[in-house]
Amino acid sequence: MLYHPIFSDFGGGEMVAAWTLQVLQESHDTVLWCDQQPDFQRVDARYGTSLAERPPTVVLGLSRRAKLIQRIWPGPGLLLQNALLIGDLIRLDKSLKPSIWVSTFNETLLPRPGIQYIHFSTTPQNKYAPKEWSWLRRNLWQSAQKLSWWIGSGLNRSVAAPMHRCITNSAWTANSLLERTGQDSLVVHPPVPPFAPGRPWAEREDRVIFLGRWNPTKRMEVAVDIVAQARENGAKNLRLAFVGFWDAEDCVREQVLRHCAGRHWIEWHENLPRDELQELAGNSRYGLHAMLDEHFGIAIAEMMTAGCIVFSHNSGGPAYILGDDRQLYRDVDEGAKRIGDVIASPALQSELHEKARPRGRHYSPSAFCDTMRAEIEAIEDAERK
């Protein structure tokens, strides 16, 4: 039984879920618990799996009442929603009697011991009451939120972590989980299907690729500012290519597009098929990532397998993936300088390019599957005893 509510053909969490299903399918009749029917052909095309050949049984949730509660009471309602969810999972466990439960959706209150794959250590989000509410109503709202998060956090600490085998996607996430809950975990990097090797360095274009979802957390404006500064510093031929798809409200799109207006050196490549995406990456020299505290960085590993020299903010998982301070920055000026230093040094270009591909291929589906297979067998062996 695999629990992953939002199962689609985009996102790092969904990539982990797809390959976990692939491992389970080898020796189990698998059931997937999610919110809507997946298109397994699209999933296979995106992640390199073969789930469409023998699709798992799909059980749909959340219940309508749980969704309604979260919509009308988004803060404190989360606790009640989780309680309803736990009830649904317990009933499903009694009905199907699966040999193992696996969650690839962070800390989850599964009905009995299993595996939970944690992408990021969850932190309560405090949703503030509207200013026009009365003082009493606002304070009651805030108090209810604090109480619900306290109870929910306590449940996760006392049940989810110790009860299940914890797996994290990076050393940074593992450290965050340990600091927050005291829970140890096994680091298993996501299964990143490698890109094609691409062209020789001399034949590539001075293009910086910004790969992934286009939403506020990715800080697209920062990427624009870094490349703009690098161009002002002398890299006149440098271009920036946004490659991905919009995952943001219209007002956010308009803000980003206004920031990009008049900059002829910016390219847009939306919803590229995988073969075209690999061709573009293999014809480009550089990659850029700007998110703060990214828990892993699938796009970074993908660009590395294509031989791109990737630069990232010095926080979260990317610092571990890249493993080289010369590719990490803390602000726009430092980011532009990092890129400029590489452009100015053919020797540095050769060094970083040559090490990118083998380092990126370290995060492979085969390595992920081997470890997950062993963890699943260990859980089932323990249950039989």
Looking at per-residue pLDDT, the higher value among 45 and 61 belongs to: 45
Burial 222-258 (b: 16+ CB within 10 A, else e): bbbbbbbbbbebebeebbbbbbbeeebeeeeeeebee
pLDDT of 262-296, one tens digit each? 999 999 999 999 899 999 999 999 999 999 999 89
pLDDT at 123 over 70: no
Domain match, 216 and 164 both: no
pLDDT band at 9 (very low <50, low <70, confident <90, very high): confident
Strand pairing partners for 309?
A: 286
- Does any domain span residue 196? no
pLDDT value, residue 180: 76
Domain count, the chain: 2
pLDDT value, residue 143: 66
| Least confident residue range of 127-131, 228-232, 239-243, 351-355 | 127-131
- Average pLDDT value for residue range 24-43: 91
Looking at per-residue pLDDT, the higher value among 128 and 190 belongs to: 190
Domain match, 212 and 65 both: no
pLDDT at 12 over 90: no
Domain match, 244 and 349 both: yes
pLDDT band at 157 (very low <50, low <70, confident <90, very high): very low
pLDDT value, residue 7: 85
pLDDT band at 159 (very low <50, low <70, confident <90, very high): very low
Q: How far apart are CA 276 and CA 287, in angstroms?
A: 16
C-beta of residue 226 within 8 angstroms of C-beta of residue 336: yes
Domain match, 308 and 352 both: yes
Domain match, 308 and 288 both: yes
Q: Domain of 66: which CATH number?
A: 3.40.50.2000
- Does any domain span residue 159? yes
**Furthest-apart CA atoms within the chain: distance in Å:** 67
Domain match, 50 and 138 both: yes
- Does any domain span residue 223? yes
Domain match, 371 and 222 both: no
Cα–Cα–Cα angle for 216, 218, 223, rounded to 5 degrees:
110
Domain match, 171 and 212 both: no
- Average pLDDT value for residue range 188-197: 93
Looking at per-residue pLDDT, the higher value among 68 and 97 belongs to: 97
Looking at per-residue pLDDT, the higher value among 151 and 90 belongs to: 90
Please report which helix (H) or strand (E) contains residue 214, including its range. strand 205-214
Residue keyed to tokens 């602000």: 331
- Does any domain span residue 97? yes
* Helix pair 64-72, 77-96: axis angle to 10 deg: 170
pLDDT band at 55 (very low <50, low <70, confident <90, very high): very high
What are the angstrom distances between the C-alpha of 20 and each of 13, 102, 191, 259, 373? 11, 9, 9, 40, 9
Give the structural domain span for 205: 201-360
- Does any domain span residue 76? yes
C-beta of residue 191 within 8 angstroms of C-beta of residue 365: yes
pLDDT value, residue 140: 73
Q: How far apart are CA 18 and CA 111, in angstroms?
A: 22
| Strands across the sheet containing 2-3 | 57-60, 31-34, 2-3, 102-103, 115-118, 165-168, 186-187
- Does any domain span residue 11? yes
pLDDT at 168 over 50: yes
Domain match, 186 and 215 both: no
Q: How far apart are CA 319 and CA 20, in angstroms?
A: 25
Q: How far apart are CA 383 and CA 381, in angstroms?
A: 5
C-beta of residue 214 within 8 angstroms of C-beta of residue 256: yes
Q: How far apart are CA 2 and CA 20, in angstroms?
A: 8
Domain match, 21 and 58 both: yes
Domain match, 248 and 277 both: yes
pLDDT of 354-369, one tens digit each? 999 999 888 999 999 9
- Average pLDDT value for residue range 314-321: 92
Domain match, 205 and 173 both: no
- Does any domain span residue 125? yes
pLDDT at 33 over 50: yes
Q: How far apart are CA 83 and CA 81, in angstroms?
A: 5
